[in-house]
Structures are given as structure tokens and as C-alpha cells.
Chain A
């Protein structure tokens, strides 16, 4: 087929883009994955999907990003896509207060359907439309602190902070995952692992001994 897979990667992270309709989720996604922006984008029906690999800490991280429909009634459907997500960008439009007010609901939605360790970033998009700003950066920062999420203001149009926002989320996920992996190796799963290692060692020594004998 004419299709070519992204080459090797060390980690695969599922990230969802949620937020009210028309806040610019699809453009954030296209900006990040294809470096494209369209003033004439079409409404997202259900979900859309894209991937991009970036480098974090010498590791290649492949981000699987699900862009969801914003209309409220689609939540029943889109929540199915949250499963397995380790990161989320909750997007609002800095020029429309109501989209910011709804962030709380989106967060709730997210926390209901995903693991508690999910990395969440609050994203205030359309930061380029300065003269129409309706949501203060301070208010959003305070809110993000309260909700224990990361926060960034972006502009998909001017391409400001888009890369940074996604990278930051992926980076944080990476931190969480590697921390988890460390914990996992230190206790709970040590039994089976130890066994294997022992077996491995025995085998090696056995082989070596045999080798000595024969030579």
C-alpha cells in the first residue's frame, strides 16, 4: 500500500482534545500534526484523529491525538474515545466566556472516564484575538491551579504555544509513565522479574561451565 507507518517509537501516548464547539480544537490538531491552519475548517462530526512523533528525553514519543466533536450531545459518543487516554487538552476560546465556564464540565467528563493520573492541560485558544479577549489569563491560571492542571494560552492561527502545549503534555506524561515504570520495577512486579533473571543467570552460567568443560 502507499501507506507508510511512522518509524519506531519508544512510547505511544493517547491524547484527547476536548472543549466546546468552535474553540479551535481541530485547528490546534492540524497545526501541531501538519502545521496547517484553516480559517475555513469544517465542523467535526464524532471524532477526528491524527498522530505525530516527537522527541522527549532521547526517547521517541508518538502522540495519538483524538479531536472530538464539541457539541454537547456528542459527548455520549466521544466519551468512548477517552478510554486509554493518558493526556488531554481541554480547550476554551479566550474570546468567549461561556466556553471557559464549560471547562469545569469537560474536566468532570474527563475525570469520569479516564485514569486519575491523566495529564490535563487547560488551553486558552485564539490568543491572537487580543481585542476581543473575554477570559483573563489570571483567572484561567488560578482556575488551572485549583483544578491541578497545566495551563497555556495558544493561538493556532499564529502558531504560538501550540507546539509547546502539546510537547509539555507529552513531556509530563512521559514523566508520569517513567515514574510509574520505576515504581513498578521497585516492588509489585519484582517477583516474576526476579525469577526470570535468576533463570537467565543460571542458564548463562550453565552454558559457560559447559563451555569450559568442552574446551
Chain B
């Protein structure tokens, strides 16, 4: 009852609504989601209320069925539920307190007054659901009782005493049954399932035909159960009522009352069947259970002294109920969780349903089914997440490293609580492990892309774990799982399980052999003992393996017989060592091969390739450069030639220019000379003209003065002939020239005139002839 009141605990800020610790790194996200959870919870309880009301209206038959005698409780509980219906959190309070009512009643009814027996009926509004689920349980039971013998292999190594009746209860027959069920179900759907179940369990439910609301219920379950109903709905799903046997739980806890056991029911016969070994086995569980009690939800407010005692009783009872499982770590968490949601005995039957039925073969000594499921899961992951699987293979990560603990703990402690509970809702409703696979695949789907970015195995595992631990969006997870992976169904899973089971069993057998060998090699005494047992095969092996190194030790032994035995034992040891050595050698060889292959060759060849490529590139580059160089050189040569030519041309041109300049210079000189000569000549001409004019004037003056000019004139005739000639010659020229240059050369004329007038005719003649003579040779 204390457990029942749990949800109302005023949780500290580090604990969630269920009182479980939230990891510090997830606190922030939890707070973000807390309000969403609250809203979801409100919606959900409304939906469920509506559904249950409809259910109650539509068919009243289930209520009339076997549990009518509890009608008082029914009314009582119904009232409590309705009052709290509006607010889930208040509802918790009501529930917690009201729940004591039926418990007390149950106790009183029981009458025996066992202090530990705490049992309560679930509320009758759920009885329709309960009944439907009970069919499932009964159907399975019927199949079992009909003695369907599938592939029945014995998985326990505990010896024959244990394997008799108990095995039927817990062995893999369940699976075979389940498989045949699902094969039947698959084509006809859910209603078909119910129908077939009814045919099987026909005698108990004659009047009902089907449960038309089953699909609606399935939807509701996937949407999550309301906190207030969860405990009871779980019991209904597991079919606690159909499983329960009055007084069984208390008898399990009271070893003294063993004598009663035989009369109670079948499972108890198993118990008594294995009775001789019981104390020893119980001892073993006890130690482990005691260790784990404080390690189950440590610090949870509900798990105080009383809580732990209840947990101890529950686990002990289960261990006694099913010795092939006994106690396995992880069950402590399941039991603890169930105790938080329901009374102790209810929790026991629920736990029994989960472990014996849903998770049959999972928590037994060999844990076969759990290993099989991991192989199945790996197949499924490989099918669907190529990229992720390639990456994980590359990193050397096995999916099972992470998912193994997920499956074994049914996600408890692996995901945030809200998500865990939502998955449990579906698992318990489905009655199989489909949801485990679906949820895991959904998680891979969600986090695969992030995992692909990791660089080593450790990072990948850590990341996946931490991401899973922060999956607060429980609705997304459950919906992805249920909708996205519908094809992962029980039929398919059974096929895959059947495929992988032999591998695991073979490995297990190999292992158990190994353990025996270990026991043999423990000490000389045990060796001898075991040798006596396995005398045959060893003797034959002795011949083939003679080892000289033993001889030295051999001498120290006195008795021949003893020596022989000792020798044989020694041989056993050596054989084993040899086997180990060869195994190790093989391992080492493969490791070496791998190392060489992976580390060296691949790396080196990659490097070589790279270098070669670089070289070719460089060579190519070089060739290009050389070609360019050649072209450049050619061009350079041409340019040089051209330059040379140009220089020559320039040189020539310069020389020519110099010559021309020189010529020009000389010409200029000559010109100037000529000019000065011309000036002189002009002067002279002017002078001569003036002189001529003067002479003419003088002559004319003389003619005027002389009356007979003939004689003197005749004497002077050469002279006079000469002068008019020149004047005649020069006049038109000199006159015209004088007219032109009169303004310019006025001064010089005057001065030269002055000079020239004083000079004689002789002077006038000579320069002209001189200039003429000078210019001639030059040309």
C-alpha cells in the first residue's frame, strides 16, 4: 500500500514524477518535458475515462462473469476513480488512500491473516480488458497442457532432477506455441486472434464472440496508460487473475508450509520436485538478492525498510517459484517497478507473467533467449540501417554491446522513465517482445545519423547510450516504434530466432565444456576425480600425445599406478594447454593478418599510390616546364637575333647619320662660305657698279669737257669695252638685287661702298675668278 501511494511523493528537483532519480545531465531536458508529460497525462486520462465508460455501457457481460462477488469493491473503487477523474495528480492522492480499502478487504476475505499477503482486485471497469487478456493466458496454458512438444532441448546444466516438470513451465515450448499462434493470427488479424483463443479456451467463455474494441484499446495503449490506471491495467494485460492461485504466494514465502504445496497446483509440484537441492540454491539467490536490494532504485523514497522487505519477499518468492530462473540481476528492477505500482502479491503474479511467459528463457542460467534476440536484432538492424551498420563494423562495434543491456533491463535505467513506462505499456499489452525490437529500431532510427559521425568504438557506444538516456519524447519514440516497424512482428521474429538459436546453443555447450575443463584443471584431486569419470576418451588420446618434458617430474612419483594416472592427468592438462595455445596462435595469426592487412598494407599502399601519383604529377609538371622552356629559349634566340639585326641596323643608321651630319656640316660651311662669298661678290658688284657709275659720270663729265674725244677714246678702247660689258652684264641683275636687299644691307653697302670706292678695278676682278675656281673642284 505504501507502494501505491508513490506517485504523490513530493519529488525533489532531482527526481521525476515517479520518484526516480534524473541524471544531472538530463535535468534540463526533463524539466522541459515535464509540462508536456502533464498535458499528455491529462489528455490520456480523459480518453481512457471515455473509453472505459463506453465499454461499461456497451457490454455488461464481463462484469457479470466470474467476479460478481466483488461488486461491493467495484462500486467503491468506481467512485474513487470518478472523483479523481479530472486531475491526474489529485487522482493519485485519492487512489493512494482509497486503495487501502480493497487491500484490507482482500486481507479480511483471505482470512488466513498472512502478514505478507497483500492482494487486491483491479477495478471492475477494467474487467473487460482483463478478461480478454485472461483468454490469452488460458489459451497458452491449454496449449501447454495439451503437451505440444516442439523442439524441446534441455538448456539447463543443473542435472536431471530439475528438468522434469519445471522445464515444461519455462522452456521454449512457449515460443513454439506462440509461433503457431501468430501464424494463425497473421492472416486473420486481431479479432481472429481472439476467436482462435476462444476456440481453445472455449469451455470458460461460452457466451462471448469477440472484443470489437480491441483495436481502439491498442491505440489507447500506444498513446500511453494514465498513471492512475497503469498498475491495474498492467495486471489486466498480463492476466494476473488467470494466473493467480490462492495462497501460492504466501506458501512460497513460508518454506515450512511446503507440505501444503503439493495440493495447491502444478508449479508447486515443480518446487517440491526440486526440493532436495532447494536450500543450496536459495542460499545462492539470497546472497545475490541481498546484494541487489540496496542497489535497486537507490534513494527512491518508496524503497525504505518496508519497501526493501517487500522487494526481498517478492524476489525470493519468484526464485522459489521458478528455480530454473531463480534470481537474475535486472529482475530486481522489474520487481521494484511493479511494487511501486501495485500491491505485493499482484506484483508477484505480474512479474511471474513477464518472466515466465513474455521473457521466457531470458533470465535463466544460460540466458539463451536473450542472446538469441541479440542476433535477431543484429539481423534486423543490418536489414534496415546499412550506413549505420557499415560504420559500426568499421569501428568494430557490435550492436549488442549497447542493445544487450537495453533488452535485458527492458529499458529500465536506459531511457527516461516516461519512455520506459510507455514501452512497458505496449510490451505488457502485446504479450510478447515485439516492442523491444521495435523500440530499439526506433532508437537506431533516431540516433543512427549521429552515431555515424563518431570516430571510435568508445565514442559510438557512449554517444548511443547518452542519446538513448535523453529520449524524453516518449510519444515520438513509441509511435515511431509501433508505426515504423510494424513489419517486425512475432512471426518474423520467431523465424529469425529459430535461425539463430542453434548458434547460441552450440556456443553455450562449448562454453559449458570449457567450464568443465576448467573444473578439471583446478587441482590434482579434481583432475583425478574427473579423470576417473571420463576414463574412456582420455585413454585413447593418451597414445597420440606423448610429451617428453613430463619425464623429469615423472621420476619423483613412487607408485607406477599413480604415475600412470598422474601422467594422464598431466596429459589432459597439456592437451588443454595445447588447445589453448593453438587457439591463441590462431587468434594471434588472424590478429596479425588483420594488423598487417589493415595497418600496414592498406596504409602503405595508399601512401605509395599517393606518392606515385604525386611523382607522375610532378613529372608531368616537369615535362610541361621543359617544353615551355624550350619554346622560351627558341623565342629568346629569335629575339636575340632580331636584336642583333636591329643593333646592326641602328649602327649602320648611326654611321649614316653621322656621315650625313658631317656632310650637312660641310655643306652648311660651304653654304656659309658661299654666302659670305656672295656677300663679298655683291659688295664688289655694288662697288663695281658704283665705280662704274662713278666712271660713267666721270667719263660723261670728261666728254662734256673734251671736244675731241676720238683719239683718247680710241686709246682707251679696251678699257671702255670692258666696263660697259660688265655693266651690261651685271646691271639688270645688280639692280634688281639692290632693289630687293636695299633695306637690309643699307649699312654694309654704305661701308663697303666707302671701301670699294677707294679700291681699284683689279681688286674687283680677282675674287670673282677666285670663287669660281674654288667652287669648281668641289663639285
Contacts and interface: CB of A to CB of B under 8 A. Distances in A.
Interface of A: 1, 3, 5-6, 12, 14, 21-22, 38, 40-51, 62, 64, 69-71, 73-74, 76-77, 79-81, 84, 104-105, 108, 111-112, 115-116, 184, 188-189, 192-193, 195-196, 199-200, 203, 206-207, 210-211, 213-214
Summarize A's interface: helix, strand, loop or mixed: mixed
A77 B458 contact: no
B496 to A, nearest CB: 19
5 closest A-B pairs by beta carbon, nearest first, are: A40-B298, A46-B405, A64-B458, A22-B291, A210-B622
Interface stretch (B326-334, B650-658, B696-704): B326-334
Contacts of B329: 21, 43-45, 69-71, 74
Contacts of A84: 396
Nearest to A211: B622
Nearest to A109: B518
- Among A45, A115, A206, chain B packs the most CB atoms within 10 A around the CB of A45
B296 A115 contact: no
Contacts of B612: 199, 203
Contacts of B364: 73
B434 interface: no
A97 B288 CA distance: 15
A200 to B, nearest CB: 6
Contacts of B298: 38, 40-42
B384 interface: no
A3 B466 contact: yes
A51 B462 contact: yes
Interface in B499-519: 508, 511, 514, 518
Interface residues of B, number: 72
A147 B448 CA distance: 43
8 contacts: A3-B450, A41-B295, A49-B462, A80-B398, A84-B396, A115-B588, A195-B604, A214-B626
B360 to A, nearest CB: 15
B600 A74 contact: no
A9 to B, nearest CB: 9
Given A76-B367, A81-B401, A193-B604, A42 B514 contact: no
A151 B446 CA distance: 44
A81 B514 CA distance: 18
Contact of A12 (B450, B456, B467, B618): B456
Contact of B458 (A44, A62, A73, A203): A62
Contacts of A207: 615, 618
Interface string B254-290: 0000000000000000000000000000000000100
- Among B366, B398, B604, chain A packs the most CB atoms within 10 A around the CB of B604
Interface string B441-460: 00000000010011111110
Given A5-B455, A213-B626, A47 B297 contact: no
Given A40-B298, A73-B365, A76-B508, A46 B404 contact: yes
B619 interface: yes
Nearest to B410: A45
Nearest to A104: B522
B292 A43 contact: yes
